[in-house]
Structure 1
Amino acid sequence: MRIPQYLLLLFFLPIMPTAFAQVDSTYIGKFPQEYSARLYLSRKFVTLNSDYPDADSKEYIANSPFAIGAGFTWGNSGLSYSYGFGFLADKSKGKTRYFDLEYHYYGRKIVLDFFGMDYKGLYYEDKGRDILEMYSDAQITNIGVFGQYVFNGDRFSYRAAFDQVQVQLKSTGSFLLGGGAYYNRVRADNVIGFRKEMYQIGPSLGYAYTWVINPRFFVTGSLTPGVTLGFKSLDDKIAWNPSLFFRFASGYNANDWSVNLSFLMNRLYVSYEQNNQVGISSATLQLMLIKRFDSQSRLLKKLPRL
């Protein structure tokens, strides 16, 4: 299926209902407002990384534009949508046709990430040597799910860091245990002489921590390394490859508004042999402005009644 260049990374239902479980209210608080509206600017980075012993490490990058989005939340539920405008992409770096879906669920104890992307058309740039090369036939496909169990979910809140529908009151962290399952396909014959299709599944172990600098400002980071078992069929030779999931968020919470900067990165290696290391990296950088209000807000009173 041919996907137009301007079709953007779509976030659908970024906030799902969470279980009504008890949390330590001295560590996790909530805002008095029930509703919130959000505007955000995001950028998706997709790269194919190659590392050979007799050659320099190189990154082949998809040329995707910035995305502008909006969303609305009520209680523990929400809906948001973003769209990438083609004119925001650098046309000198070639054309990338792509389809990209992401969904992130931050529960009290369970965190889930779903990915579905297909990018065709990459470029390589070396500014030091004034080199810019385009590879229109290079293609990356990645479909997968990644899940984690948050051991200290009673005191540590991912939702406070990334959704900001809660607020982290005290600094704390949590160990993370989980894993992922993926389908990956790389077609880069004319780029690095590499073509591979495989399924990958494996565990991960990590740690997350939120530093509450003051009652309004926080910084959160989590790092989750893992290993995957890769195969094309049940009769195929099994390959063990490393993986890495990194999250970062920083935000400021006022009485009825917040600002948030977040970065998510997932790297999977489809080959990790001594003479051939090829990895797929996908990352999302997002800047978000949130305005909260309650049922007595003048804005809601102006809306037409059904």
Structure 2
Amino acid sequence: MRHRVLLVVVFSMAFSFQAWATSLLESDSTFLYYRDLSDQLNLRFYFSHKFTEFQLGKDMPVYEPNSGLHMGLGISFQKLTVNLAIPWGFLNPTRQKDWKPNIDLQLHSYTKYWNFDFFGQFYNGYILVPDQSESQILREDVEVRKFGGNAEYVFGGDRISMAAAKDQSQLQLRSAISPMAGFGIYRVRISGDSLFKADQQPVVSRGDFFQFGPSLGVVGTLVFGKGFFLTGAFSGSYSLGYSEGDQNRFTQNWQGRAGYLFRGFAGYNHTRFSINVNYVLKNLDLAEISGLDPSISTGNYRLNFVYRIQPGPNFTRGFSRLNPVNILNRMFAK
């Protein structure tokens, strides 16, 4: 599986560089590929399902979080997006309501040439289904803590806008494609009563993981029908991974690990409103621990209904000074 991911990245990069270079030679530099709408305030009503799930081995059952479907409100202004959603009971009749709440922080910020994806997860309680014919196993004792993120440089950032697809702060006018290159770093802790168990191996209740490394990828968007769009971005990574069981230095392990980040967007985007769906999935193969080969995936499904308004000048000036995206823009501007 890991070798397949690397092959996909290599072929995608080769195709992307060729298509990007050809488009640069053939296109008129006066073409406007996207229009900035970040001076407008996007008001958002949405449904989302965030999750951080994991496996202890490739052929082992998935530990699914007690997260559920959320409904909430959000805003996007000056390329910064803030959302607040709640897993309402009527949307999640089978959710375990007596367990500790989860906190899932995901920040996806896209400037002209840089993509930033940050994750901070505090998950409490997991549900395990060993087989389709078997009943669920409730593991309230299992906890996951995950922190980290990645930054990617988009070589054709003057021609393709991830912000148009993700938070509708821009409007993509033409189809485009571009290669990307970046770097990521992650820290993960998975714990539970005798969680890591393998034949002839010590039982481990807590696994600590850390990994970092470069990534390569491609992003492309297809615009059609005066406002409809399809956008996809895929990055494959190969990282140096570290694991340690029960905070015991004698269980330390270092090895190279593969991973990927996929982002997909589709919908209709207009200067006044937008209706769209998006999907983000970050997968990490963690370093082996206690004879097991764990992996962890963080994702988000979302359906958005967006309406735009024009705020006043005083609000705009005050917000601009404090906006962290503007600070990052100044730091990484070309």
TM range (shorter): 0.7 to 0.9
Residue 72 of structure 2 corresponds to residue 66 of structure 1: no
Question: Of residues 82, 103, 116 in structure 1, which corresponds to 2:120?
Answer: 116
Greater fraction of residues in strand: 1
| Kept in 2: contact 1:33–1:293 (CA 8 A) | no
Residue 14 of structure 2 corresponds to residue 26 of structure 1: no
* Other-structure match for 2:187: 183
In structure 1, C-alpha distance between the alignment counterparts of 2:30 and 2:141, rounded to whole Å: 53
One-letter amino acid of the structure 2 residue matched with residue 71 of structure 1: G
Give 3-state SS (helix, strand or coil) of 1:238's partner. strand
* Other-structure match for 1:304: none
In structure 2, C-alpha distance between the alignment counterparts of 1:250 and 1:38, rounded to whole Å: 16
Query: CA distance change for structure 1 residues 76 and 64 in 2, over 3 Å: closer, same or farther?
Result: closer
| Kept in 2: contact 1:36–1:74 (CA 8 A) | yes
Question: Of residues 28, 40, 48 in structure 1, which corresponds to 2:54?
Answer: 48
| Kept in 1: contact 2:218–2:234 (CA 8 A) | yes
Q: 1:212 offset after TM fit, Å?
A: 1.2
Q: What do the CA deviations read for 1:160-212 (whole angstroms, capped 9, x no partner)?
A: 11011111111111111112111111124544425310221111111111111
* Other-structure match for 1:18: none
Q: TM-score, normalised by structure 1?
A: 0.79
Q: TM-score, normalised by structure 2?
A: 0.72
Question: Of residues 231, 235, 242 in structure 1, which corresponds to 2:258?
Answer: 242
Give 3-state SS (helix, strand or coil) of 1:103's partner. strand
- Unmatched runs of 5 consecutive residues or more in structure 2: 1-28, 198-203, 313-334
* Other-structure match for 1:208: 219
Query: CA distance change for structure 1 residues 213 and 121 in 2, over 3 Å: closer, same or farther?
Result: same
Q: What do the CA deviations read for 1:191-242 (whole angstroms, capped 9, x no partner)?
A: 4425310221111111111111322100111111111212359995422111
What's the Cα RMSD here? 2.9
In structure 2, C-alpha distance between the alignment counterparts of 1:149 and 1:225, rounded to whole Å: 14
Query: CA distance change for structure 1 residues 295 and 190 in 2, over 3 Å: closer, same or farther?
Result: closer
| Kept in 2: contact 1:260–1:289 (CA 8 A) | yes
| Kept in 1: contact 2:243–2:287 (CA 8 A) | no
Question: Of residues 230, 233, 242 in structure 2, which corresponds to 1:222?
Answer: 233
* Other-structure match for 1:129: 133
Q: 1:266 offset after TM fit, Å?
A: 0.7
One-letter amino acid of the structure 2 residue matched with residue 46 of structure 1: T
In structure 2, C-alpha distance between the alignment counterparts of 1:196 and 1:295, rounded to whole Å: 48
Greater fraction of residues in helix: 2
Identity, % of aligned pairs? 28
In structure 2, C-alpha distance between the alignment counterparts of 1:33 and 1:100, rounded to whole Å: 28
In structure 1, C-alpha distance between the alignment counterparts of 2:89 and 2:46, rounded to whole Å: 17
Q: 1:260 offset after TM fit, Å?
A: 1.5
| Kept in 1: contact 2:79–2:163 (CA 8 A) | no
Question: Of residues 40, 65, 81 in structure 1, which corresponds to 2:84?
Answer: 81
